[in-house]
Structure 1
Amino acid sequence: MSTPLPSHPPPPRAAVLTGVGSCLPPTAVTNDELAERLDSSDAWIRSRTGIRRRYVASPGTATSDLAVGAGAKALKSSGTPDVDAVLLATTTPDRPCPATAPAVAARLGLTGAAAYDVSAVCTGFLYALASGAGLIAAGAADRVLVIGAETFSTLLDPDDRSTAVIFGDGAGAVVLRAGDAAEPGALGPFDLGSDGGREELITVAAGGSRQRLSGVPPATRDQYFAMEGKEVFRHAVRRMSASARSVLGRAGWRAEDVDHLVGHQANLRITHHVADAVGIPRRRCFSNIAEVGNTAAASIPLALDQAHADGVLTPGGRVLLTAFGGGLTWGSTVLTWPGPDRA
């Protein structure tokens, strides 16, 4: 009687990036156009943010419209029109209820796919990316479309110089498929975190249950996005740096192994401070904030699509992603950029 051979469990499934896409509204607003209204100047805005222009959605456009545009391009890039799940990271859904992701999925011809929104402000895309990777690892999905889309202009006080010059609208997306952890394009370990004790640093005070059940009509300023800039800067640098170092260590990478740091496009000075803290040369930071501004949850996938289109991200390049946002929330992951037939 033969002895049965020992069985070995199959290797764990990894999420592999296989398509990218983005969508910007057609209207660009330059610093000079804003400076006329805000008693500012192009030089002042660029020196403090690194931004030259940003894109703003026109009346009649919604977050879902930008999400559909980016999602369609990512699906085309991946070479297949079908996925099992659609995850939409956004702070500006089309409406409070229902979630926007199912409508986006339906418009992309993906009716029947699982679809839900992820809300983590500027860290939203990384949270959604981790969620998509988790669905694949668990066997709940073989292919996932992950979108970051925002119409952040709808949250801004147009006369607030501290925020109106920073944010823009847009969407970016990636497609993930089940694969092997050793493949190019496979997402590495994730580091995610939060600190709700500092939620007041980045807020829109009105519109939620706390304000509506207070019995007090909202003040005008409470209906707009507000941010304590200096404190946010400090926390962003500290949290993104620590998170980035964590995933590098877990991936077995050294700082000098990183070919490209693609951080949340909040402020060029924040990106450079994070690079300095982690030990990555500033020249390895990819930034498109000058052209699109801070697009919140859309910023990392927008940057990935542009860097890919510009030939900055080349096959085999080691990429570090890191973000920080309201909540407070933060997160990081790594991947080796796939070849041209995969992205």
Structure 2
Amino acid sequence: MAVLHNRISQEELKRRLMEETEPRTTISFYQYFFIEDPQAFRDQLYVHLNALKVFGRIYVAQEGINAQISVPTPNFEAFRNYLYSIEPLNGLRLNIAVDDDGKSFWVLKIKVRDKIVADGIEDPAFDMRNKGRYVDAVTFNQLTDDPNTIVVDMRNHYEYEVGHFERAIEVPSDTFREQLPMAVDMLQEDKDKNIIMYCTGGIRCEKASAYLLHKGFRNVFHLEGGIIQYANKAKELGLPNKFKGKNFVFDNRLGERITEEIIARCHQCGEPADDHTNCANEGCHLLFIQCKKCAEKYEGCCSTECQEVTHLPLEEQKALRKGIIKDQNIFNKSRARLRPRINS
């Protein structure tokens, strides 16, 4: 019987990844389509992708698939051929990472979820088939030359902070499910204008475009392939790049450089910086922006208190964080300052 999950420790997997000499390509893709038996689909997918040495994070639900993966570059064609052999995925757009060292993932995880994007939508009349119109990089630039076009960033606040399109509106929230009703409220007076929504790879803005149409909006567009596809096409076609800064990504890289502008600041000293990191204190693990000087000064920690914890014996550190529930621990500059985070 085929093994349908990983049985090796995370530490060992990371070590093996760092020792790999074979190049890897980081890819993201998604597709909204009906899957009758998500668990069976998941298991079949795992067997084939594991055989191709694919690493990454994939969510499967009745509404479709959402994936961020890395594949050994020599296996790319075999991977694509397998994916395209699945009828609803035939010809699927694959977003190739812009700034990639191949060290984005070290294990393959495929999980069955209720939805491929947690959206909080419970209205049974909502229909993903009624979605906004795609715009490519060329059309995006043309439409956004019009000052009356509304550009809406459908990513989280910490993604927007390090990079976004010119004139893009931020919907300041921690989660996509919070953003959807917020976006509807914020855009009420612009219902008749051209509204272009974008996100990292397209999955969130596609659903957001359908949600706005469901709420009575008319001229709704979404950027095909998101920031990743736009950046690749802008470079390929020699277009003016209207994205400024870094594109946050949800893998080990935590970001890919799109343009050289640094539009964010270190959350500790305020100097220009756009490198996200997780606090080195495992009992905190706060996601925040830290410049190189502060990374050295605080040894990768968000505060001196956390820095002191990392100097304790390992068993004492484990005792301190026992019982701590770590959900989303993300620094939000609009809500809080960096502060001691030992047992909270």
Q: Which has the higher helix share?
A: 1
Considering Cα pairs closer than 8 Å and 6+ residues apart, tell me whether 1 or 2 has the greater RCO: 1
TM range (shorter): under 0.3
Question: TM-score scaled to structure 2, two decimals?
Answer: 0.25
The TM-score, its normalising length taken from structure 1, stands at 0.25
Rg (Cα) greater in structure: 2
